[in-house]
Amino acid sequence: MRVLVTGGAGFIGSHLCEFLVEQHHDVTVLDELSTGSVANLTSCLDAGSVRLVEGSILDRDLVDECVRGKDAVFHLAAAVGVQTIVNSPLQSLRVNLHGTENVVEAAVTHGVPIGVTSTSEVYGKNDADGLREDADRILGSPLLSRWSYAAAKGLDELVAHVRAIETGTPCVSYRLFNVVGPRQTGRYGMVLPRFVAQALSHEPITVYGDGTQRRCFGSVYDVVPAMVELLQTPAAHGRAVNLGGREEISIRGLAEKIKDFTGSTSDIHTVPYDVAYGHGFEDMARRMPDLSLAHELINYTARYDLDDIVQSVVADAQRAGQRDPLLTAP
Ligand code: UDP
């Protein structure tokens, strides 16, 4: 297949490119290199197996040019990370709404199957024990910029599926639950790489809120092959599908696990949300996926547990020699 990966220089995108190259697909990346980086694609670019087009998904003509003639599009380009969303809510909304609309329009115009990356954030504050894809969304006030990501991604799914149905284009949206793994940066807020970098440098580990909030972390090595397989599975077309892991842990528990794992002397500090993210931040108490739809469609099960994930992230951070120093944690 000739495949376009938007956001292919990002964390998940670059793993997806590596996977597609291993499967002998011809891969083009469209990335503006704002939060992504060429370094993430080093192995693919060195081997000459990926073509990188540097540009924005807001550039409609460029998007159209990149999509034309492809057999599949994986749309991952987005403004990501709670820190990014809180710092620049409007630009994030623009990229996540108009950028996605451009990619979807190009895909349906040229009849190219499209996988759209969405997020568990679309469920908002729904903390059910196993969120099914048809679960209700409980979003906070539209005046809180913190919810702009969830709002935009929900609309992205709507636009993608409506246009796909109208035009008969195969389309899947992926609701990713805290996907982690090597090469993820902590610079935009993501907790696991932040804790690992803090632990390795023996700086305080910054737990936001009281640390009782719970998450299920999923391995990028489980999620990426599932994204590809779902787009190749007709029964998945027209569906939103949860992807991630099943093992739940509190954020304080995660801090303790990483401290133990690295033998770090770091203290664990509690940081109020207002200090971490600014006034009026609302966190989700819990976010846990029901993965039965993915299992039903493609026999998905998470092969990597949290210990495997932490081990690979720590090893990668050590190999990189702290190439990704943290922003000074608040
Ligand atoms: N978090 C934290 N310390 C950090 C960064 C994040 O305690 O340095 C918390 C954050 O408030 C949230 C959880 O870790 O409760 C997961 O944050 P992340 O941004 O990785 O993903 P989210 O689930 O919020 O999308």
pLDDT at 326: 46
237 CB within 6 A, ligand 1: no
213 CB within 6 A, ligand 1: yes
- For residue 215, is pLDDT > 50? yes
Domains and CATH numbers, the chain: 2-184+217-246+287-305 (3.40.50.720)
Residue with CA nearest ligand 1 atom 10: 208
Per-residue pLDDT tens digits for 77-111:
999 988 888 888 899 999 999 999 999 999 999 99
Residues that are catalytic: 149
CA gap 63, 51 in Å, rounded: 14
Pocket test for ligand 1, best of 117, 175, 251, 306 (most atoms within 8 A of CB): 251
Q: b/e string for 92-108 if b means 16 or more Cβ within 10 A?
A: bbebbbebbbbbbbbbb
117 CB within 6 A, ligand 1: no
Nearest ligand 1 atom to alpha carbon 198: 8
CA of 201 to the centre of ligand 1 (A): 19
Mean pLDDT score of the chain: 94
Q: Which residues contact 53 (CB under 8 A, 6 or more apart)?
A: 28, 29, 30, 31, 62, 66
34 CB within 6 A, ligand 1: no
Residue with CA nearest ligand 1 atom 16: 191
189 CB within 6 A, ligand 1: yes
pLDDT at 316: 93
pLDDT at 255: 98
pLDDT at 280: 80
- For residue 330, is pLDDT > 50? no
Per-residue pLDDT tens digits for 226-240:
999 999 999 999 999
Map 161-194 to HEC letters.
Answer: HHHHHHHCCCEEEEEECCEECCCCCCCCCCHHHH
CA of 21 to the centre of ligand 1 (A): 32
Nearest ligand 1 atom to alpha carbon 192: 20
Pocket test for ligand 1, best of 87, 118, 191 (most atoms within 8 A of CB): 191
**Token couple for 282:** 């609302």
- For residue 322, is pLDDT > 70? no
Sign of the CA dihedral running 8, 12, 15, 17: negative
**Token couple for 327:** 């922003």
Per-residue pLDDT tens digits for 34-78:
999 999 999 999 888 899 999 999 999 999 999 999 999 999 999
pLDDT > 70 in the chain, percent: 97
182 CB within 6 A, ligand 1: no
Contact 141, 280 (CB under 8 A): no
Residue with CA nearest ligand 1 atom 19: 190
